[in-house]
Structure 1
């Protein structure tokens, strides 16, 4: 907390405390506070935070910076019992919820923890009168393609989808530029196959236009994504966030202007790469789904992805798109707020 002294205008800054080690000591989220602001009802999906921090040091991510902001243990997980306690609380207060997304950086980085959690979740599911499905963010490690025991446990625990950060299909880019955990493309392809055989959907996350990337590198990304046969892909153009290692590298190599335009964040490239021209990055961003899902998705759906990506590149067109998409949602929020105010006004009059 920062405090400004009114007398002399000086700023006092409190010392930063330690990371909270025991996450189980924190209370559950008071979700009811947000109910008046949620237009889509009944509420079908909720999120639960499983832990905080990430053990990896990826250069494009903020985790390696955040880990140094305070003393103490950065990577922490809640106990399975504590998480399931919150899950039970959610299902009690929101009877229409049928899906839960567990927020965590790297589920599966610790196989022991992941197996324990799946076993406890499977046992809890047996007590439910209805089916609840789960999703989570998976850690990609060297053993991911061989960990049949874990994917089986996740299936028994009723996981219906996983998110995976492929980021780049070039092992050189992952190793030398992004500093990702060590794994091969084949490891990831094998995991996706195991998940698919058990009807667990896979959503891939892809990054393009990073410092040092070439057109051939990105062709490897497309090839790997094709072989993974994912249910969906989220592709983003690299944006150098200040404080990250890749931001420093881009600045040192004079790949960007000093004044970054935040309006272009992940919409268009802000870098000048020698072996991956700006126009080609834009082209690959627009055509990614069209190429990856060829033979898996009807032509018209792939073409719609092209149109959507083109609109996303323009802040103005994207705003127009979002206006029409969320017009009814915004109206519902306004009506919800007005009706509640009218109800409270009527209550006040009754009390008077």
Structure 2
């Protein structure tokens, strides 16, 4: 069967790789099916459909971008005949999207086994109304809601992600850093994240944390190293440092076999001297950790992040003393947050000497506890269409200081890099210069990512190309 995946990835992208789709494609190809991928522009998808003639079109959808996918699918269904399936976080936590015109199925949760079963039954002309993990809308418009199947117990049995799927979308110079997942699952229950709802969905149906063996993880990286250019490895596990025994083995094996700098996600409450030593021994270049809020009460009571300011500061000091770059994640415009609280977040980043502090504006995503509270506190009307794709640009909340917080989010990194500017920033956030601030914040972020967090060697010509893609939306 022929399956087309549609994603936010555009032609000649230079950014994020759609890892979920690459896993699904690999699993389908391993079982004899043909797959293609396209960016979400109508002209591009239309061209691929004419050439590939897929029987199934799968959309990987996140909240905020979902209205564009709904409209795209509607236009395509008016022109072509295919089964349309929506998956990804939005479909998992808001499967009611299937009520939209032209959508035939919504996949909930982990997709490999669920998608393969759907594909094979569609190919056989069999009844698909009871396929687990799927909400199916039949020809009469009747909705069939099915429970999820157990989580895949052994990730080592899955094929490696199908990175060949996106080769035709490479920029003029092949990418030199790749994303890797050594496991699935997170031990935390942060209120702004969907993980708690995800585990409630799968309660009694598998282990919350599943991980590749070190051997299997190394094997995958070696396969990419032998096939593609590779200057930097980026591990995108929710928390890379959750198992010390695994990390001990990894710290021995990785520098012997791979010898390439890497970035990984950490949580500051787990950082200690032993863990820092293991990361350094393994060859870690930079880490990404969530501060989220500099106000201890908001972090604990609103976000359910049980870590103190001093723990965060001490962790950053240990990491930086060991020679690692520290990239922090922060959220502004949180429910109950004041402008003063937001400046507390800026202050702790200064004290941590963050190499780059990324700032998102809070989004009340479906399935999250904080999203429910935002509705309860009348800070969000519950209309998911009001959540925009640019989560670092706009806040959908009814927040009394929203515009100032949006402006601060754009000037935040400058305040951390140049603390003497904080007093000026307190004045600038009152001015109607949001677009100007956004432009310069993107420039600074691009510089920091390429030179500090994910360093890459590039020619002057390619640097100009990358800047154009990054600033004007040609890339991911």
Please tell me the TM-score bracket, short chain as reference: 0.7 to 0.9
Residue 341 of structure 1 corresponds to: none
Given that 2:359 and 2:392 are in contact with CA atoms closer than 8 Å, whether structure 1 keeps it comes out as: no
- Deviation string, structure 1 residues 108-149 (Cα, Å, up to 9, x no partner): 233333233222223324xxxxx41111111221x42xx112
Residue 312 of structure 2 corresponds to: 188
Residue 150 of structure 2 corresponds to: 18
SS of structure 1 residue aligned to 2:179: strand
Residue 381 of structure 2 corresponds to: 257
1:80, distance to aligned residue in structure 2 (A)? 1.1
Say which is worse superposed, 64-73 or 12-21, in terms of deviation.
12-21
- Deviation string, structure 1 residues 168-220 (Cα, Å, up to 9, x no partner): 1111111000001x222222222222222222111011101111122332222
Say which is worse superposed, 246-255 or 187-196, in terms of deviation.
187-196
1:34 aligns with 2:166: yes
**Residues of 2 paired with 1:171 and 1:331: CA distance?**
39
Given that 2:326 and 2:355 are in contact with CA atoms closer than 8 Å, whether structure 1 keeps it comes out as: yes
1:152, distance to aligned residue in structure 2 (A)? 1.6
1:9, distance to aligned residue in structure 2 (A)? 4.5
Which residues of structure 1 form unaligned runs of 5+?
126-130, 298-302, 314-321, 333-352
**Residues of 2 paired with 1:154 and 1:223: CA distance?**
27
Distance 1:40 1:160, change over 3 A: farther
Residue 394 of structure 2 corresponds to: 268
Q: Which residues in structure 2 correspond to 1:58-137 (within 5 Å)?
A: 58-70=190-202, 71-94=205-228, 96-125=229-258, 131-137=259-265
Task: Identify which of 347, 352, 376 aligns with 1:223.
Answer: 347
Distance 1:225 1:29, change over 3 A: same
- The alignment covers a number of residue pairs equal to 305
Q: Which residues in structure 2 correspond to 1:48-59 (within 5 Å)?
A: 48-59=180-191
SS of structure 1 residue aligned to 2:239: strand
1:331, distance to aligned residue in structure 2 (A)? 8.8
Given that 2:329 and 2:357 are in contact with CA atoms closer than 8 Å, whether structure 1 keeps it comes out as: yes
TM-score (normalised: structure 2): 0.58
Which residues of structure 2 form unaligned runs of 5+?
1-133, 422-427, 442-464
